[in-house]
A and B are shown apart, each in its own frame.
Chain A
Amino acid sequence: MSADKNDSKEEKLSIKRIIKASLDDFQGTNKEAHGILISHNDEGFFESRQTPKPLKELANQLLGTISGDDTSDEN
């Protein structure tokens, strides 16, 4: 049983590592959003089934990192 628990813990760490590695590229593009996702990952947010409410809160936090008023970017 103890071995099972260790396996489960190892599994969760592995999931966190994969998520973190995938998000790394994002750091240069949107540092703030990257930080939000990393902090949620550290808390194990993605590993437990989430209802729409917390997902909506996270989505709005991520959208909050988008300024949208900078028009210097060309098409």
Chain B
Amino acid sequence: MKIKSFKLSWFRGSAQQAILDTHSKSVVIYGPNGSGKSTFPDAFEYLFRNGKISHLTHEYSGRKQEKGVRNTHAGENSSELVFTFEDDKKASIAINKDGTNSFNFEPEDFKDIINKCEASHIILRQDEIAKFVNSSKGEKYSALLPLLGLSGLETVIENFSNLQQILAEESQLQKTEQRFADLMEEAKQVLPSFEEKEIQELINNIGKRYIVTFPKDHSELIEKLSIAIGEKIKKINSEIKRYTILRQIDNENLIDKFEDLIKNQEKSLHDVDSLLGRKLEVLEKSSTFSKELKEEDRILCPSCGQEIERTKYIAHVESELGHLSKVMEIYQKAKQSRKLFSDSIKLIFQRIDDEDVSKWLEQEPHKELKFSLKKISELRINETQESFTKEKLDIIKSNICIISDKIKKEVGKTPPTVEELIRDKDTVNIIKKIPEIKALNKKIKEVKNIINVLEQTKMSIHQELKNKTQCIINQISKDVMDIWSRLHPGEPIEDIHLSMPDSTDKGIDICLKFHGVNQLSPRITLSEGHRNSLGLCIFLTLAKVSSELDQPILLDDIITSLDREHRSFVADLLMDDFSGRQILLFTHDREWFSELIYRLPHSNWNFMKLKPWDKPEIGLQWIGSLSEFDEATSLLSIDITSAGNKARGIMDNNLSIIADKLRIRSLQYIRGDKNDHRGAVEFLEHITSEAEKSNRFRKRKESSGSYEVYSEPINDWKTTKSLLISWANRASHGGYVTSAEVEKLIEMCRKSLDFLKCPDCGEFVWISNQESRKRLQCSCGKLQWRYD
């Protein structure tokens, strides 16, 4: 799936047309900051993310990113992107002014291949390089999941989870559980237990309070009881009122009063009463008469007719009056008893005059009571009553006994309180619901049983997923560590590996040893540069793992935080491990670009340069020549000394790389910063010396095919060295140099470096190591640098 070309119109930094022809090779694209080189990764991302660019996902780019993806000066022009891949597969996108777009694929099913590609495993940008390292455990897991090839297991887990949820919804499990819990709470308040025997006993006890006959069938009994309690509740007020009235009647103690009446009446008979009245009248007159008598008078008693003395007569009258007063007392008692009894009778009839009591008396069980009351009523008993005849008394006696007895019985049946009624009602209701409680319990158990089985199955799959993930991340860890150790040889950051924390199912983190101490995350101890480097290692590992579709890899300014030495290692890695993959490498680092030109085989790599950005209407522009010396030459007309300086700078940089590539032993070469203080002259001197004295540089003769010492460059290198010492130094130190001198200097420098490049294969002499590094040579073997 190598890309052959991009053609962009009015997309991001491109104007009318920007073409990047890769010829199916890997490409290094150099462009200074702001030259628009990221337009190409953006275009690729737009294709692979189906019309989205992640770094443009913000509120200012518009809903369809129309403010970001189109050139600001596109006007009415539509933006177009055309990608041509190997085998003439093509993808083209037209983006309208409003951001709407249309994708076209040739052949149509090429779309499926594009859709399979994961953009985050294809494109790595400078600002995203440590994104994976800095992301959360869950984000790391999600990023790795497509690569783990375990989406099948994830699908199974998801299906089981969804099925559990739907099962719970369809069975209304939550509602059922709530209903069950509510009923159980109700039951707890009123039922001692769910034991059948205890419940039966409870029903019987309640039943006694409300019903007379007990149906044999349990349900029928509960139903009858429920109705009876309901009725009772409806009549509760009238019943309590009636009970109060009957209780008041009972409290009148009618029988006692009647007995008093009988007793007192017996003492004070009707005829004695009248006699007493008359006798009392006579005695009162006699008393008055006796007071008018003289002391010596003897008189005949008007009461008994005997002749007696006045004093005796007076004493006799007084004695008679005394006797009469006692009888009077009995008389008064009898009268009082009658009053009390008649008052009670009156009160009873006032009470039973109540509507509810009257209705109650109409009921069959109370007919006898009603009849007795009627009989008493007919006697018209009142407080003025003198005395009762025996017949009357007999009627009263027989009826008040019935009345008192009946009322006492009713008063004995204390009506239930409202609380008791409610409690009984609740108890019966909950007993009625016991079958429902049991059914709910059974349903909940059965539904949960299914859900639990699904959960167990899901967990088994989870475990399998975890095991396989562990296995795969172990392999990835090994690759990451391998790449890391090649980018950071000998550094005390070891045992870098991905791990699955126990605390989460879907999480992955990176662990490592820092100076021998285990670290749970690289974010704890690693510098930004190291984190970026680790991010690069992980990206490259994942890119290797996801190589099924052989997608190109786009690296946009990824070495910014790496020093020169580590950049060199990145170049090595790309050559060694990714020689089969197409890489599009974008950089703004001129030195690295130069190094890559020397180091990467031109048979597999193209090198391109972008001009500094000018204006939106012009857009991206390629520089025709790759040669830095062309740039130096172009400076001649502007500033001669700058041109000389530029030539010297080019030689400093390039010869440093060349000395490294040629492993110039006399320099006691150490890669990296220790070479920084060395200049072009020193490098050239040593290269020349090794080539001359050790006959290292050889060239194959066309005719014989044998190799001979390649001495032609040696003279030129010597000349170049002398020019660098004289003219270049002068230019560097502000001295006077002529245009012709600098022109000659540039020419000789260019020629000196060109000697190392094979005229036939176009590769540098160090591209291939031969026979365990006994010699270096170009791809075709025409040029050799020998160590034997």
| A residues neighboring B (CB under 8 Å) | 11-12, 14-15, 18-19, 21-23, 25-26, 29-30, 33, 37, 45-50, 52, 55-56, 58-60, 62-63, 66-75
Contact = CB atoms under 8 A, between A and B. Distances in A.
Contact of B170 (A46, A56, A70, A71): A56
Secondary structure dominating the interface of B: helix
B159 A19 contact: no
A34 B443 CA distance: 17
B218 interface: no
A71 B442 contact: yes
Contact of A71 (B435, B445, B457, B460): B435
Interface string B131-160: 000000000000000000000110110111
Contact of B461 (A19, A58, A73): A19
Contacts of A56: 166, 170
B33 interface: no
23 contacts: A11-B152, A12-B152, A15-B153, A15-B461, A18-B457, A19-B460, A26-B449, A30-B449, A33-B453, A37-B453, A45-B159, A47-B156, A49-B158, A50-B159, A55-B159, A55-B162, A59-B169, A59-B171, A66-B446, A67-B442, A68-B443, A71-B438, A73-B441
B166 A19 contact: no
Nearest to B437: A75
Interface string B427-447: 000000001011101110111
A16 B318 CA distance: 130
Interface residues of B, number: 35
B163 A73 contact: no
A22 B157 CA distance: 13
Contact of A47 (B155, B437, B464): B155
Contacts of B464: 14-15, 18
A27 to B, nearest CB: 10
B388 to A, nearest CB: 69
Secondary structure dominating the interface of A: helix
Given A18-B464, A22-B460, A68-B439, A46 B449 contact: no
Given A68-B442, A68-B446, A21 B460 contact: yes
Interface in B475-491: none
Given A30-B450, A55-B162, A68-B439, A18 B155 contact: no
B456 interface: yes
Nearest to A8: B152
Contacts of B435: 71
Contacts of B667: none
B438 A47 contact: no
Given A21-B460, A66-B450, 17 more contacts: A12-B152, A15-B156, A18-B460, A19-B457, A19-B461, A22-B461, A46-B156, A55-B162, A56-B166, A59-B166, A62-B450, A63-B171, A66-B171, A68-B443, A75-B184, A75-B194, A75-B437
A56 B346 CA distance: 80
A63 B451 CA distance: 11
Contacts of A59: 163, 166-167, 169-171
Contacts of B158: 49
Nearest to B162: A55
A68 B437 CA distance: 11
Nearest to A70: B442
A25 B155 contact: no
A61 to B, nearest CB: 10
Contact of B453 (A26, A48, A58, A66): A26
Contacts of A48: 155
Contacts of B170: 56, 59-60, 63
A61 B171 CA distance: 11
A54 B788 CA distance: 75
B698 to A, nearest CB: 47
Most buried by B among A26, A30, A67, A75: A75
Contact of B447 (A47, A49, A55, A63): A63
B194 A69 contact: no
